[in-house]
Structure 1
Amino acid sequence: MSQTFRLDDLMQMARTEGRIVAEDAAKRMGVTVQTIRRDLLKLAEAGKLTRVHGGAVLASGTSNIGYADRRALNTAEKAAIAAACAAEIPDNAAIFMNIGTTTEAVAQALLGHRGILVVTNNINVANTLVANPDCEIVVAGGQLRRTDGGLVGTLANRIVDEFKFDLAIIGCSAMDADGDLLDFDMLEVGVSQTAIRRARKTFLVADHTKFTRSAPARIASLADIDTFFTDRPLDAALTARCKAWNTRVVIAG
């Protein structure tokens, strides 16, 4: 396989799987680990990937990867996170759910819940919950992002601000070493921040790939989160901070 084809395949692997493990990629492509490392270095020098121990991840930037690609990432991990989160959501609760593929997974896990009210700026969440006849759905109107079915902007903010939620279920695009939750769209961030302010408790749902990414807009801190549902342990420093902040971390799976 020529380097050009390998580079294309490596980029596709990064988009669909979240990261590249050099040894795995070498086996799949029938080349040496050293060859893959050289390929990853070339992609990193071009600004397309960021090297990490054992491989590479998509480079941080100011725009997110495509929604369909995100939806295909880590589906088993997202399902486990969603199941753990849904298990702690009582019936007869008023809930907000923001934009994201992990919050979509939570919506799927809520199909058996009774008497819940869900306010969302995520059309995909609303469409999923239609299958639950015992769920009242309020869609926060706003500017439609055709790329992912998100509703953002001033109107969405106003609608969310009319409620007092038992729980806000929040996803994010990235999380940095300081425990800040990050996203790419300031309009989307504004809606999530409003929901956090209007909620008695906030649950964060995010898989481990968010630990190695970055984005420019800050939603909140893990200090503002009551429970963080994820699929892998945090590093020691962030674990200590969560304990100091009384942020409970639940490892699903």
Structure 2
Amino acid sequence: MNEQLSVTDEGNLSGRQEEILSIVHTQGFATIDSLARHFDVSTQTVRRDIIFLDEQLLLQRFHGGAGVREASVRLGYAEKRVTSAEAKERIARLVVSRIKPGESVFLDVGTTVEAVARALRGRSGLRVFTSSLATATILSSEQDAEVFVTGGIVRGPDGSLTDEWAREAISRFRFDVAVLGFSGIDDDGALMDFDLAKVSIKQAVAARASRVIAAGEEAKLLRPAIARVLDATRVHTLVTNEMPPSRVFESLEKAGVEIAFDRN
């Protein structure tokens, strides 16, 4: 094995550490074992590299691996709102076409789901439940709509509500359809997310919903994230803006997931 020093004498990153950063930024998450195999070094060597990179705030250390650092690598909320705006609108229209009049709808947090909220404006007899202050604000002026907001601690600039207060509120309702955002897709088609605090909220919502619609841009289908949210068999429909990669398409099709995307 090539057990070269992790850091150069000047304190700069070694070639291996630079490549570790590249792999993590591309994939979203990488395990220690996979990195050790990739570089043909021991897991202890990779672990030392990850500890150093975490201390430099270049990535985030997790049990068994490393992921992108949310504050420094992932797009900020304001930037996300304008990134792929047209794609989000296309996704939103497809999602809304699958929501029947009079159905109770849970809307998750995130800029793609906020686009769904905007596309729902003007619908009569709307009953929306959400853990997103941003989504509630979008629909607050709708006179013919009932908007229920879960309690909980406000987390982050997107106004998401988390913790046991939100989960308790969710457990009191049944939803005809839940529209969930996600950060990535696992190899078997499972939804994944970077934000661990939001994972339990998404899971609680899915447990109370008759149908789950996952909504996200095609770029998210090309990467894993940190935590699994839902197995593919729990998802009824995936709505995206482009034809999914063949690996993702095959995994979701095998799980019986309807795949909807804008062909235009």
SS at match of 1:113: coil
Match of 2:68 among 39, 61, 72: 61
Structure 1 residue 152 corresponds to structure 2 residue 159: no
Matched letter for residue 21 of structure 2: G
Structure 1 residue 119 corresponds to structure 2 residue 129: yes
Taking the TM superposition and a 5 Å limit, the aligned residue runs for 1:1-12 are none
- Name the CA distance, whole Å, in 2 between partners of 1:88 and 1:78: 16
Structure 1 residue 86 corresponds to structure 2 residue 96: yes
Deviation at 1:165, TM superposition (A): 0.4
Match of 1:140 among 116, 141, 150: 150
Taking the TM superposition and a 5 Å limit, the aligned residue runs for 1:1-253 are 45=19, 47=21, 50=25, 61-63=68-70, 64-252=74-262, 253=264
- Name the CA distance, whole Å, in 1 between partners of 2:182 and 2:26: 22
User: Unpaired runs of 5+ in structure 1?
Assistant: 1-40, 53-58
Larger CA deviation: 104-113 vs 221-230: 221-230
Matched letter for residue 251 of structure 2: R
SS at match of 1:155: helix
Matched letter for residue 98 of structure 1: D
- TM-score when normalising by structure 2: 0.72
User: Unpaired runs of 5+ in structure 2?
Assistant: 1-14, 28-58, 60-66
Size of the aligned set, in residue pairs, is 207
Shift >3 Å, 4+ stretches: 43-46, 48-52
> Residue 240 and residue 162 in structure 1: after superposition, are their counterparts in 2 closer, same or farther (change >3 A)?
same
Considering only aligned residues, what root-mean-square deviation do their CA atoms show, in Å? 2.3
Matched letter for residue 104 of structure 1: E
Deviation at 1:62, TM superposition (A): 4.8
- Name the CA distance, whole Å, in 1 between partners of 2:231 and 2:69: 19
Matched letter for residue 77 of structure 1: A
> Residue 74 and residue 148 in structure 1: after superposition, are their counterparts in 2 closer, same or farther (change >3 A)?
same
- Name the CA distance, whole Å, in 2 between partners of 1:215 and 1:118: 28
- TM-score when normalising by structure 1: 0.75
SS at match of 1:47: helix
8 Å contact 2:108–2:130 — kept in the other structure? yes
**Bigger radius of gyration, 1 or 2?**
2
8 Å contact 2:188–2:252 — kept in the other structure? no
- Name the CA distance, whole Å, in 2 between partners of 1:106 and 1:185: 21
Identity %: 29
8 Å contact 1:157–1:191 — kept in the other structure? yes
